[in-house]
């Protein structure tokens, strides 16, 4: 008999569905087999797609019902090409990425790393607006623990937790995200120290750190490889326009 699929590996291949049907269920909505984060939390959504990116008309209709007519959603899935979209949908940006596994990453704390909270939200939004590490919306910071580095009181670098997949402990994984550094402070190892510190918190819970990067962001992938992360699969983060109704 073939081995049963690893539940965590299944979750990692479909992270948005795993998060919104599991540990982050309060941050989005589900309709049939389609899922969508609250638009103030994340632009991500998902639906069942085969290896060629094809899905059923009913699943696409359910995803559309979770979105604003004529609005946008980023469809996330494991794969090598954009989804095969039905009539009425538009592919605005085809975005290939990679998922990186941190099973071998122990993480480490650093004296200059501080925990960020609600009082820091305005600075976090300003830093991400300048550095564009990925989607950052009004409620993104609610998803997990965020850490930062300050210089003369000003927030100059940050990283934190986004999607939580599978179950808690050894059955689960947490994504490291929003890794960003003010351009004036790059080259000082701040991103590495912050990723290590976030990873240490994830490992302390008995979970696996993971992260995602753009496939063509060779500098980031090189840094994460040097820290012990390995590329585990190709991912897609394709920006779509929803039918107008």
Tens-place pLDDT, residues 194-216: 999 999 999 999 999 999 999 99
pLDDT confidence of residue 245 = 73
Q: Name the average pLDDT for the chain.
A: 96
Q: What angle do CA 241, 243, 244 make, to 5 degrees?
A: 110
pLDDT tens column, 56-86: 999 999 999 999 999 999 999 999 999 999 9
CB 220 within 8 A of CB 214: yes
Q: CA 46, 52, 56, 61: dihedral to nearest 10 degrees?
A: 40
The CA distance from 149 to 156, in Å, is: 6
pLDDT (tens digit, 9 = 90+) per residue, 133-162?
999 999 999 999 999 999 999 999 999 999
Q: In 3D, which of 90, 114, 135, 136 has the Cα closest to residue 198?
A: 114
Q: How many CA atoms lie within 13 A of 230 on its CB side?
A: 4
Low-confidence winner among 2-6, 94-98, 103-107, 144-148 (lowest mean pLDDT): 2-6
Please check whether residue 78 is in contact with residue 49, taking contact to mean a CB–CB distance below 8 angstroms: no
pLDDT at 6 over 90: no
pLDDT at 205: 96
pLDDT over threshold 60, residue 1: no
* Tokens (6 digits) for 229: 């992360």
Q: Locate 105 and state its tokens.
A: 């990453």
Q: Which two tokens stand for residue 47?
A: 């639906």
Predicted local confidence at residue 5, as pLDDT: 72
């Amino acid at each position: 008999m073939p081995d049963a699929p690893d539940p965590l590996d299944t979750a990692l291949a479909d992270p948005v569905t795993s998060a919104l049907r599991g540990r982050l269920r309060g941050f989005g909505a589900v309709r049939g087999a389609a899922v969508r984060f609250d638009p103030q939390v994340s632009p991500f959504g998902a639906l069942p797609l085969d290896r060629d990116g094809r899905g059923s008309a009913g699943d696409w209709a359910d995803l559309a019902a979770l979105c604003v007519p004529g609005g946008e959603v980023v469809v996330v899935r494991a794969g090598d090409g954009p989804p095969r979209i039905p009539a009425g949908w538009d592919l605005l940006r085809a975005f290939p990425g990679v998922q990186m596994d941190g099973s071998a990453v122990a993480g480490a704390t650093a004296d200059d790393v501080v925990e960020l909270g609600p009082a820091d939200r305005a600075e976090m939004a300003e830093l991400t607006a300048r550095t564009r590490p990925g989607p950052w919306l009004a409620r993104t910071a609610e998803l997990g623990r965020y850490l930062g580095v300050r210089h003369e009181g000003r927030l100059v670098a940050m990283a934190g937790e986004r999607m939580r997949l599978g179950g808690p402990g050894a059955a689960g994984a947490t994504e490291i995200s929003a890794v960003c550094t003010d351009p004036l402070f790059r080259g000082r190892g701040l991103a590495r120290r912050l990723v290590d510190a976030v990873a240490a918190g994830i490992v302390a819970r008995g979970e696996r750190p993971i992260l995602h990067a753009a496939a063509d962001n060779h500098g980031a992938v090189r840094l994460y490889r040097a820290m012990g992360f390995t590329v585990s699969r190709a991912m897609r983060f394709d920006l779509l326009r929803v039918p107008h109704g």
